[in-house]
Amino acid sequence: MNTLTKVQEMLRPAQVQDLSKLSFYCGKKQKQNCCFTHLVGLPKSPSTYNPMPLMPYQTQFFKTVQNPRYHKFHVNKSRQMGMTELILRIIQYRGFSKYAGGKVIIIAGTREKTTKKLMQRLKELFRNIPNVIQKSDDLSIKLYNGTTFEGLPARAEAILGDTKIKAIFMDEASKWYMTDDEPVMNAVKPIVDINKSDLFMISTPNGPKGFFYKIERDTNDFMKIKYDIYQAVGFLYSQEEAEEMLKDTSVDTDQEYLNQYTTGRNSIFGTVLDDEIGDFGTLD
Ligand SMILES: Nc1ncnc2c1ncn2[C@@H]1O[C@H](COP(=O)(O)OP(=O)(O)O)[C@@H](O)[C@H]1O
Ligand SMILES: [Mg+2]
């Protein structure tokens, strides 16, 4: 080991320690060594690629998540609301505090490819803090402080219990390519209840079926939140853009933008406009 590597080794724990002291987001425009979000970099606008502040509903969601009363979250959201981005940032941030030394499970679909893409997105959030990563591959990221982020396919047998599971993130949970998603939920539920892990279940609706729909409908201990397209007006979209989107006749706008569980996979809108056709394509 050369001297530089030795020094880097010595510095690593200190850096990890310092990150745990940062607040998640300062709310200011300029970076001033102020918060975790500025350190890792602000999210980029999908249209201009310019760094953008977190939107009010994103900061509000973070506040809700910080409330110790809640640890299961069900978020029914319009398309393209910056929610995947936000949850990835929250689990990354907590990898240095609440989840430090533990395991965070990420499930994005039945196919490995989908989960790998999400893991890649998470990895990109480490581009300004690469030294905290001890090792990583397509489906896992291990930090020097022992925190591990692990991508798993949405299959009951893949989701095994482990006492160190601190959080589970289920992305687009209503759109997984499976006839019956109940076994997956049955595998996740005891893990979350026994470990008191956090559970982030996020999706745009996809017809009145599946566990995502049932959890919203039933009485349970989930914190249920809905974000329709209007929440992003003035931030991701202008009023005119949102109105145009709502006039689109090629998609079920009530479901895609307004939180309604209206159409399943066999509807006239059956083609899901997602590049992950293997996960989200028509079943029959
Ligand atoms: N606060 C923000 N301001 C601008 N763009 C954002 C913000 N948060 C996320 N984005 C961007 O919006 C796009 C959609 O985000 P994503 O997290 O994929 O949305 P969702 O999961 O809700 O469909 C991405 O390009 C992301 O970088
Ligand atoms: Mg998403």
Q: Return the ligand number nearest the Cα of 122.
A: 1
Pick the closest to residue 166 from 257, 94, 254, 274 (CA basis). 94
Task: Kindly list the protein residues whose Cβ atom lies closer than 6 A to any atom of ligand 1.
Answer: 43-46, 52, 54-55, 58, 77, 79-85, 236
* 41 residue type, one letter: G
Best substitution site from 37, 42, 44, 114 to test ligand 1's pocket, by max atoms within 8 Å of Cβ? 44
**Cα–Cα distance list, 229 to 89, 232, 260 (Å):** 21, 6, 12
- Amino acid 28: pLDDT: 86
Query: Which atom of ligand 1 is least distant from the CA of 79?
Result: 23
- For the chain, the domains span 3-258
The model's pTM is: 0.90
Residues sharing a CB contact under 8 Å with residue 75, sequence separation 6 or more, in sequence order: 61, 83, 200, 201, 202, 203, 224, 225, 226, 227
- What does the block give as tokens for 228? 């329709």
Over the stretch 42-64, which tens digit does the pLDDT of each residue have?
999 998 999 999 999 999 999 99
- Whether the per-residue pLDDT at 11 is higher than 60: the answer is no
* Residue closest by Cα to atom 26 of ligand 1: 82
Question: Residue 79 C-alpha to ligand 1 middle, in angstroms?
Answer: 10
What is the pLDDT at residue 277? Answer: 43
Q: Which atom of ligand 1 is nearest to the CA of 55?
A: 1
Q: Closest ligand 1 atom, CA of 85?
A: 17
Mean pLDDT (the chain) is: 89
- The residue whose CB lies within 8 Å of the most ligand 1 atoms, and thus the one to mutate among 86, 169, 236, is 236
Taking CA 228 as the corner, what is the angle to CA 226 and CA 232, rounded to the nearest 5 degrees? 120
Residues 6+ apart with CB under 8 A from 134: 142, 143, 144
Hey, which bits of the chain come out as E strands? 72-77, 103-107, 133-137, 140-143, 148-152, 165-171, 198-203, 223-227
Q: How far apart are the first and last CA of the chain?
A: 58
**Do 41 and 53 touch, CB atoms closer than 8 A?**
no
> Closest residue (by CA) to atom 19 of ligand 1?
82
Q: What is the pLDDT of residues 61-85, one digit of tens each?
A: 999 999 999 999 999 999 999 999 9
Measured CA to CA in angstroms, residue 35 lies from 29, 30, 38, 124, 133 at distances of 12, 11, 6, 18, 19
Tell me how far the alpha carbon of residue 113 lies from the centroid of ligand 2, in angstroms.
15
Structure tokens at 158: 């893949």
- From 3.40.50.300, 1.20.1260.10, 3.40.640.10, 3.30.1370.100, which CATH number describes the 3-258 domain? 3.40.50.300
Q: Tell me: the pLDDT tens digits for 81-132?
A: 999 999 999 999 999 999 999 999 999 998 889 999 999 999 999 999 999 9
157 CA distance to ligand 1 middle (Å): 31
Measured from the alpha carbon of residue 237, the closest ligand is: 1
Provide the pLDDT for residue 282.
35
- Ligand number nearest CA of 46 is 1
Within 13 Å and on the Cβ side, how many CA atoms surround 126?
A: 22
**85, 77 Cβ separation under 8 angstroms:** no
* Sheet containing strand 133-137, strands side by side: 133-137, 140-143, 148-152, 103-107, 165-171, 198-203, 72-77, 223-227
CA 57 to centroid of ligand 2, rounded, Å: 15
Residue 265 pLDDT: 55
pLDDT above 70: residue 158: yes
